[in-house]
Amino acid sequence: MPVCRFSPCRSLASRFLLGCAILAAASLPALSTAQDGSGPQTKSPEFEAATIKPVKNPDPNRAHDRTEGRHFSAYHMTLRDLIMMAYHVDAREIAGGPAWVTGDEYDLEAVAGEDSRLPDQREAMLQKFLTDRFQLAFHREQRTLPAYALVIAKGGPKLKAAEAAGSSGASCEHFGTCNFHNEPLDHFVRWLAFAVLDRPVLDKTGIVGNFDFTLRWTPDESQFSSIGLRASQASGEANTPPLFVAIEEQLGLKLAPEKIPAEVLVIDRAERPSEN
């Protein structure tokens, strides 16, 4: 899994780290094959103990999670955030449910049993927790979603091969300047899809290998909305181009509109949990 670091903007860091947890296991737009609650099931791993409390002063920019040893915690998380983490989906692939699913925030503290394997079993434990405490039930539907395809622009790519092997990572100085170290393009498109744009992104460049590059652009207000944040045009550096132009000019790549079939998780039932 790539190292995902965003500094100094803690709010962006929190939401992007959530995105890393979701996207590291599955490339967009495919959803996981987790069961939807119908038919026979084997016993799922579960937390040994867990407490959840509603947040009195909601603030989506404070959302973050942590796994340390047997302990898992998540703060300022909506039910939608927890579903995204548990089922490896993004916000566009969740539909239905009452309005509070995306509005109410919760603090979750959980501990796994001594024989459990965190973080390997964290998603399965979260799924069981959501079923038990939120009475979550859903089904899946095939829908057509708007997307982008990342392709090679006229003139060819302008990517620099990574200078050294080892850890990979991404860091943002602010909303409009992001650095990528030793990263393959599929990590870049996952970042674009989850954190920046309002739709999935497919890598159709055919380019393999890891690269070092920096992307500088002036964001618009629609960008970063999928992780609950809003960038302003003042976030970019002076005289930097819009995102689509920056990708073409700086990377020699291009985002082209496309439509794709995707499986969507549709919420049939969700209830607010009682505190304990």
In a domain, 34, yes or no: no
- Pick the closest to residue 181 from 215, 216, 150, 210 (CA basis): 210
Quick one: 177 and 227 in the same domain?
A: yes
In a domain, 32, yes or no: no
Contact in structure between 101 and 80 (CB atoms under 8 Å):
yes
Q: What is the DSSP letter of 126?
A: H
d(CA 276, CA 273): 9
Q: What is the pLDDT of residues 196-249, one digit of tens each?
A: 887 889 999 999 999 999 999 998 877 877 666 666 555 556 689 999 999 999
In a domain, 275, yes or no: no
Q: Residue 59: which pLDDT band, with cuts at 50, 70 and 90? A: confident
Quick one: 14 and 96 in the same domain?
A: no
Q: With 90 as the cut, is the pLDDT of residue 106 above it?
A: yes
Quick one: 174 and 154 in the same domain?
A: yes
- Pick the closest to residue 91 from 195, 173, 166 (CA basis): 195
Quick one: 167 and 257 in the same domain?
A: yes
Quick one: 18 and 150 in the same domain?
A: yes
Query: DSSP per residue over 140-158, as a string?
Result: EEEEEEEEEEEEEPTT---
In a domain, 136, yes or no: yes
Q: What is the pLDDT of residues 167-202, one digit of tens each?
A: 778 888 777 899 999 999 999 998 898 788 878 899
Quick one: 124 and 153 in the same domain?
A: no
H or E element in which residue 124 lies: helix 122-133
Mean of pLDDT values over 86-115: 91
Contacts of 173 (CB under 8 A, 6+ apart): 7, 8, 179
Give the count of domains, the chain. Answer: 2
- Pick the closest to residue 70 from 113, 127, 129 (CA basis): 113
Among 147-161, 233-247, 259-273, the least confident range: 233-247
pLDDT at 14: 45
Strand 210-216 with 106-111, pairing: unpaired
Mean of pLDDT values over 86-105: 91
- Pick the closest to residue 251 from 147, 172, 151, 168 (CA basis): 151
In a domain, 223, yes or no: yes
In a domain, 121, yes or no: yes
Q: Which domain holds residue 131?
A: 49-143+263-269
In a domain, 41, yes or no: no
Quick one: 148 and 255 in the same domain?
A: yes
pLDDT at 155: 93
Mean pLDDT of the chain: 81
Quick one: 121 and 80 in the same domain?
A: yes
Contact in structure between 182 and 165 (CB atoms under 8 Å):
yes
In a domain, 29, yes or no: no
